[in-house]
Structures are given as structure tokens and as C-alpha cells.
Structure 1
Amino acid sequence: MTKIIRVPVKEAEIVRLRIIEDGKLDPERKIKVIDADERFLEIPVTDDIEGFETYQQEDALFYNKWRSLKEILNGSIKENELEMLPSGWQILGEIIVVTIDPAIEHLKLRVAEALLQMYPYCNTVVRDLGISGQFRLPEREILIGNSTETINKENGCFFKLDVTKVMFSKGNLHEKALMSRIGKHETIVDMFAGIGYFTIPMAVHAKPARIIAIEINPQSYAYLRENITLNHVENIVEAKNGDCAELTPEGIADRVIMGYVGTTHHYLEQGIKALKESGGILHYHETTPESLIFSRPISRIEHAASEIGRHVEIMDCRKIKKYSPGIWHVVVDARIS
């Protein structure tokens, strides 16, 4: 099936990001520009998209002649092994990051070679083995290639990173795009800045007056500094290396981003205190059981605010992605006064 939706050019980027977030973008076909009364893009999709009519595409343009790993390896490995091949992977710059089932460990090099056939502009394949520790360090095995440092382009921004040293998630594209459209002329504190996941798109697109970006991991902080320079936002972003429990300023921010998950709630008091006494917006991320999906993060914000005499108005709640079985990564936007 070669399904597409047709989207006006001016709306296409936001729609594309939403489709990626929903897992419905067909990664094998190219987006095509079509000329009609108004310029449209044909966006290839794998399922119907709410709010858009679905069409069958004529003359689809594929990125390469190989449609899938199964197509490349069919006939050379066992049928049950074909079913265990990875169905998705990340491409960061010229590097492919893939998770491979331990049951087909013996095929990992063949999988890597097949992926390079599919993406000839890439030069390195790295196997993802999970994350660990306070700094959420990736555990990764180089399968083919030498260089693990790359520059990934996303939403008009450049992110330099080493895929074996720091994480880069493409699973919250919509949230990063949303953050890139708010905060003009504001003072913003990004308490868990990483390599600049939210700081960089905000600085590049929204043009706030100032962003204070705090990152505890020395390796992530080093790339944050490089990405500030790479994107020419030195006049906007001030980077700080250390624990946000100690480095978060008080009473200066119009907006605070708490984009970490796991122990974020331990830092809610610092996040709320960073906002101006006249009020401001808190963007609070948390991983939450489905049964408590928004009630727990909201109650935690309200409790932390009441402890220091502040008032909370909930503005929005969003699901970002499934974090693990029964657990959701969510964001709550709250106005604090």
C-alpha cells in the first residue's frame, strides 16, 4: 500500500512531526511536492491520519531499492529469524542506532551490513543495549564503523553528539517543536538541558531574551557548549555545569523547563522557586503509571507549590510516548502565581 495525505506546504512541518510522533510516517518513501492551485506536499503514511483524506500515491519515490531488512535477508536466514529482525532504528547524522534481539545475536553483523545497504550515506552502525545510571548513559556496541561522533540536524537545528556517550531521543519531536514556538523575549531556565534538546530549538526559533541551561553530566555539558556555538546562540544561552538543585536561580524566570524523567519531582521546589514572584509557566515532565497518568504529576506540582505558598493553574497535559509497559512519559504545563 502506498498511502499518502496532502498537506499545504505552510502546514507540512507540524503535520509531519505529529505523524512521526504517532509512528505513522512511512520511512521508505520520500515526501513529494505537487503543484496545484496551492503548493502541497504528499506525505507518505502507513495508516489513516485524523483530519486528512487518505489517497493512494502514484509514482512513489523510494529512498532506495531495498524496502526492508526482511527483503534483503530473505532466503539467507531462517524464517523464524526473519520475524525477529528489528522493525525500526534511529538515524543520527551518518550513524544508525539499532536494537537487536539477543536471540539473533549471531546475525548482528549481517543486520548491520544490510542497514548500510539501505542507507548508503551512513558509515557506522551501533547496537543499542539500553541506558544506565543517574546520567542515563547509553550502553552501545559498535558493529560497523569507527566514528561514533556525528552532527544530527533536526527542525533547523544542529546537535553534535557521540552516540556512545550521550542519549538523543527522536521520540519527542512534537514536544521539541512546540517548545521552539514559545518564549519570545522571555527569561527561561532549562533545568535538565542535556546537549540542548529544548534549549537549542527555543534559542534558534523562539528568540527568548535569555536561557539558563543547566546540565550535570560533564559529557552532555561539553556537547551543550558546542551546540550553542554550532547554532550561533551564544548571545542567548548561558550554560552551567552542575546539579540543578544547587544551580537553579530563584525568582528570575518567565518559564521553566523540567525535561528529565525519573526523579524530576524531587526538583519541583527549585523549579517553582525559579519563576518570578509575579508568576510564570512550568513545563514538568514525568514518567507515570497509566492509572495515574495525569493525576500524579498534577498532585505533585500542586503539593510542591502549596509548600512554598504558590498557586497552580493547570494549562495543559500531554502524552509524549509509552516509556515502558504500563508507563507513560507525560508533560504538564502549569501556570504558577
Structure 2
Amino acid sequence: MYRTIRVPPEKGEEIREKAVAGNFLDPARKIRKIQTSTGTFLEIPVTEAAGEIVGDFPVIKQEKPEFLEKTCSLKEYLSGTLTEAEMKHIPSGWHILGDIIIVSIPETLESKKIQIAEALLSMYPKCRSVVRDFGIEGKFRQPKRELLLGSGAETIHKEHGCFFKQDVTKVMYSKGNLEERKRMSKLGQGEIVVDMFAGIGYFSIPMAVHAHPEKIISIEINPESFAYLNENIRLNQVEDIITPIQGDCAEAAPEGEADRVIMGYVGTTHHYLEPGIKALKKSGGILHYHETVPENLFRTRPEERIKKAARCLGKKVEVLAIRRIKKYSPGVLHVVVDARIFE
């Protein structure tokens, strides 16, 4: 017997996440929308491990289940076109932004990069381009990437109800920061916010769409990122909330205006702590400070840097939380510190 949970559409994502967390979502079947005499519902396919009830919804028998097509692995697609030695080096992972596949291919497979790209497009027929990733470089932390196959590298990525237009060969977009973007989307209601390293709107857009601050001042120095920031403001219809400013945030950030300041850059962020603290209202406010730090220092160095900058300005600091965002590189973490700054 095939089991399912029938839920209203607005409860679909909540129950799907519970099924994933509980390891009882059936990946072989489709989540489908059905119409009954009592309304429209989603059917979430589950295994026997779901039990008899999930949340407030009973587990029921599913009539005429619909199955997902089984996709071949990259190794299966490339079988016969690469040697046994080459097969050992094929990519084990990649990520998709919008309709573009981004993949790292080792130099040992330079001559086979097009075959790999063709195989990936066969695996993901809804995607239209494959881009090879070489990492990031320069002051603006721009990606070094090569378009292997397809009609271009510009796409629109949808995440958490927000749209991000971007050229993946020109600007970075880290999927590893997803949970932090979701968290920030719940903060700032009715506040004045300064986003000091706004990029294409990574934090500004979700906050504007979901939390509805009074105003967000989004500052970005990179002209290409700034152009996409403006496009994304229009795309998400938040022109009445976000004021974009192009320039160096050390000079362009206002003083004494913000309830909350986001410092979502990593690398040299600590050099901008004083302008960030100055941007907060005289009565104080909340600072979200990002840093890359050796694992053994992540609970001390970011906090010490904030307190040092605050002392220079005659301010005090209460650290509210230190959060790990992701592993940045071997032995190095990307962390964010939430701190209240006050007199």
C-alpha cells in the first residue's frame, strides 16, 4: 500500500519538511495537487515510517500514485566516453541557480569538459546552460567562471519567495548562506536598516519582502552587483522600502540613523566596524557582523574586534549570539555575531 498525507496547499511545505526531517518522505513518488469535492489539496508521499498521523493530518492510502522518473548518475551518462582513470576524477557535486548548472571540473578533465557539460544538461533538461567554476578572486570577490554550454549566464533564481536576477559569471551567490538569509527575512519590521555590503540584495531583498522595515539603505561598491541590486529591487517590487546607494560603505553609510546594521561581507569586514557602529542611532541598535575566522578563535576574535571598535567610539557591546554559517575552508568558519551596541 502506498501512503500519503493530504494537506491544504498552505501546509504543504511544513509537512514536507517534517517528512524530510523524520526521514519518511518517499522520494520515488511525486508531490501532487488534487481537487476533491471539499477543495484543493496536496498529497505528500510518505513511507510506513510516518506512522498513523503527522501533525494534525492522518496518513492515508494513496490511489493511483505518480512516480518520478529515475535519473541516471553523471557516471552513468559518461560511461563509455571517459577512461577508467578519468572517471575517478569526474565531479561528485554541483549546484543549480535558476536554470544554470555551476560545476567545478579538475584540470585533468580539461579535454572532457564539454562532454561533462552535455551530460549535466541531459540530467537536468529544465536547465539551459553549464558554467565551470574556478573559485573567487579580487577585491569584489567576483567569481572566476567559464560558460561551457548554453545561451548565456544570466538567470533568475527564486528563493524563499524572493527573486534574484544575476549573471553567475559576474556575481557570487552562496547557497550555503540560505538559512541566514531566511533568518534575516524575519527581522527589522518597522525599523531603519543599513545593509553595508548589499551585493545583489542577498539580505536586503528577503528582509524587505517579508519583514517590511520602514527603510533599508543598501550600499554596494561593485558596479555590476549594484546594477543587479537595482533590478532585483524592481523585480521584487520593494522600491518603497529599499534605497540603493553605490559607493564604499565606509564613506557612504549614514551616521546615527539605523536601528539595525548588516555587515554581510567576509574577508576585511573588521576594517568597517567603526562606520558600521556609527551608522546606528545614538541610543544604540543591533549589529550583524560577519567574519571568516579559524575554528579555534570563532568564539573570541569576532567579539573582541567588535568590542575594540565600540570602545574607540565610546560605546558598549552586548553579544546576543554567535552563529556558524558554514565551513568556509579547511579549519576556517564563516560566522555571524549579533551584538547590541549601546552607550
TM range (shorter): 0.7 to 0.9
Pairwise CA distance, 1:13: 5.9
Which residue does the alignment assign to 1:311? 316
Say if 2:186 is the partner of 1:181.
yes
State the AA in 2 paired with 1:176.
R
Equivalenced residues, count: 313
Q: CA deviation at 1:107?
A: 1.7
Query: Would you say the 8 A contact 2:193–2:258 is kept in 1?
Result: yes
Q: Is the 8 A contact 1:12 1:41 kept in 2?
A: no
Does residue 68 (structure 1) correspond to residue 73 (structure 2)? The answer is yes
The Cα of 1:82 is off from its aligned counterpart by 2.4
Counterpart-to-counterpart distance in 2, 1:43 and 1:199:
37
Alpha-carbon spacing, 1:14–1:186, altered in 2? closer, same or farther (3 Å): farther
Q: C-alpha root-mean-square deviation of aligned residues, in Å? A: 3.1
Match of 2:53 in 1: none
| 2:278 aligned with 1:273 | yes
Tell me what 1:108 maps to.
113
Q: Contact 1:31–1:43 at 8 Å: present in 2 too?
A: no
Distance 2:105 2:28 in 1: 24
Q: SS at the partner of 1:297?
A: helix
Matches within 5 A, 1:126-205: 126-205=131-210
Residue 260 of structure 1 corresponds to 265
Q: Distance in 2 between matches of 1:14 and 1:196?
A: 29
Q: Is the 8 A contact 2:186 2:211 kept in 1?
A: yes
Alpha-carbon deviation of 1:70? 1.4
Instruction: Select the residue among 125, 132, 152 that pairs with 1:120.
Output: 125
Determine helix, strand or coil for the equivalent of 1:172: helix
Which blocks of at least 5 consecutive residues in structure 1 are unaligned?
1-6, 45-57
| Shift in CA distance, 299/218, structure 1 to aligned 2, threshold 3 Å | same
**For 1:105-130, what per-residue CA distance to the aligned partner results, in whole angstroms no more than 9, with x for missing partners?**
22211110111011101111010111
**Structure 1 residue 97 corresponds to structure 2 residue 102:** yes
Query: Could you say which structure has the larger radius of gyration?
Result: 2
| Structure 2 residue 306 is matched with structure 1 residue 301 | yes
Give 1:278 deviation, angstroms: 1.4
For residues 249-295 of structure 1, give each alpha carbon's deviation from its aligned partner in whole angstroms, at most 9, with x where no partner exists: 11111110000000000000011111111121101100000110121
Cα contact 1:152–1:160 (8 A) shared by 2: yes
Kept in 1, the 8 Å contact 2:12–2:42? The answer is no
Q: Work out the CA distance in 1 between the residues paired with 2:264 and 2:16.
A: 23
Answer whether contact 1:182 1:202 (CA < 8 A) is retained: yes
Task: Please identify runs of 4+ aligned residues in structure 1 that moved more than 6 A.
Answer: 28-31
Question: Per the alignment, in what secondary structure is the counterpart of residue 176 of structure 2?
Answer: coil
Q: 2:240 aligns with which of 235, 240, 245?
A: 235
Residues 12 and 44 of structure 2 are in contact (CA less than 8 Å); yes or no, is this contact kept in structure 1? no
Aligned partner letter, 1:188: V
| 8 Å contact kept, 2:325–2:335 | yes
SS of 1:235's equivalent in the other structure is coil
State how far apart, in whole Å, the 1-side matches of 2:28 and 2:95 are: 16
Asked whether the 8 Å contact 2:30–2:66 carries over to 1, the reply is no
Q: Is the alpha carbon distance of 1:108 and 1:286 closer, same or farther for their aligned partners in structure 2, counting shifts above 3 Å?
A: same
What one-letter code is carried by the residue in structure 1 that aligns with 2:206? P
The answer to whether the 8 Å contact 2:255/2:280 transfers is yes
Task: Measure the CA separation in 2 of the matches of 1:43 and 1:327.
Answer: 38
- How far off is 1:65 after superposition? 3.0
- Return 5+ residue gaps in structure 2 as ranges: 1-6, 35-40, 48-61
CA distance in 2, matches of 1:29, 1:154: 24
- Displacement of 1:80 in angstroms is 3.4
Q: What secondary structure does 1:171 align onto? A: helix
Amino acid corresponding to residue 168 of structure 1 in structure 2: Y
Moved more, 173-182 or 140-149: 140-149
Percent pairwise identity? 59
Structure 2 Cα separation of the partners of residues 226 and 13 of structure 1: 31
Which residue of the other structure, out of 302, 306, 323, is the alignment partner of 2:328?
323
3-state secondary structure, aligned to 1:232 = coil
Normalising by structure 1, what TM-score?
0.84
User: Match of 2:110, SS?
Assistant: helix
Secondary structure at the counterpart of residue 266 of structure 1: helix
Alignment partner of 2:310: what SS? helix
Could you tell me which residue of structure 2 aligns to residue 32 of structure 1?
31
